[in-house]
Amino acid sequence: MADPTYTAQAHVTGGRDGGHGRSSDGKLEVDLGLPNEMGGDGNGTNPEQLFAVGYAACFEGALNLVAARERVEAADAEVDSAVSLVPEGKAFRLAVKLDVTLPSLEGDQAVALVRSAHQVCPYSNATRGNIEVALTANGQSLD
């Protein structure tokens, strides 16, 4: 493994139902719980919510990086993410939808920037070929 630029560390006890998680630096601390849709009481954060926030934040960072490289203004970008647990036999798989809004860009330019960001984003690279990721740019599907 190459020398990492940064490594995040976390510790979890109790798992997704009634557990607790915290980052090693103490900046993130969450009580974990099952959502109502999975038979839980809805109190607490679940791993899918954490993944959704992480992916959206990472993707927006990738958008900003690509925009700077291409000398395009995208500071007003917004990313809405949805991470779904999908039953598959006796297991589950994840599916992701990223809706990217780029008010400063139109049509093909917005689509091209989102496509480029999808190639740069570490979450996109980690999930490519493993998780279905649906992308939109200003409401236009990239499929």
pLDDT of residue 48: 96
Asked whether residue 55 falls in the same domain as residue 90, the answer is yes
Asked whether residue 74 falls in the same domain as residue 121, the answer is yes
Domain region containing 136: 47-141
Asked whether residue 117 falls in the same domain as residue 100, the answer is yes
pLDDT of residue 92: 93
> Mutual orientation of helices 107-120 and 47-69 as an angle, nearest 10°?
120
pLDDT of residue 114: 98
What backbone phi and psi angles, to 5 degrees, belong to 31? -85, 135
User: 5 — alpha (psi -120 to 50), left (phi > 0) or beta?
Assistant: alpha
Which amino acid type is present at position 140?
Q
Asked whether residue 79 falls in the same domain as residue 136, the answer is yes
pLDDT of residue 27: 96
Asked whether residue 15 falls in the same domain as residue 80, the answer is no
Asked whether residue 34 falls in the same domain as residue 51, the answer is no
Domain end, chosen from 45, 61, 78, is at: 45
The domain that holds 129 is classified in CATH as: 3.30.300.20
Residue found under tokens 């496509």: 115
Asked whether residue 132 falls in the same domain as residue 63, the answer is yes
pLDDT of residue 1: 72
Asked whether residue 28 falls in the same domain as residue 76, the answer is no
Asked whether residue 24 falls in the same domain as residue 62, the answer is no
pLDDT of residue 2: 86
Q: How many domains does the chain have?
A: 2
The domain that holds 15 is classified in CATH as: 2.20.25.10
Asked whether residue 86 falls in the same domain as residue 105, the answer is yes
Per-residue pLDDT of the chain (143 residues; tens, 9 = 90+): 789 999 999 999 999 999 999 999 999 999 999 999 999 898 999 999 999 999 999 999 999 999 999 999 999 999 999 999 999 999 999 999 999 999 999 999 999 999 999 999 999 999 999 999 999 999 999 98
Asked whether residue 19 falls in the same domain as residue 74, the answer is no
pTM, rounded to two decimals: 0.94
Asked whether residue 37 falls in the same domain as residue 66, the answer is no
Structure tokens at 99: 């809706």
Query: CA 53 to CA 41: how far, in whole Å?
Result: 21
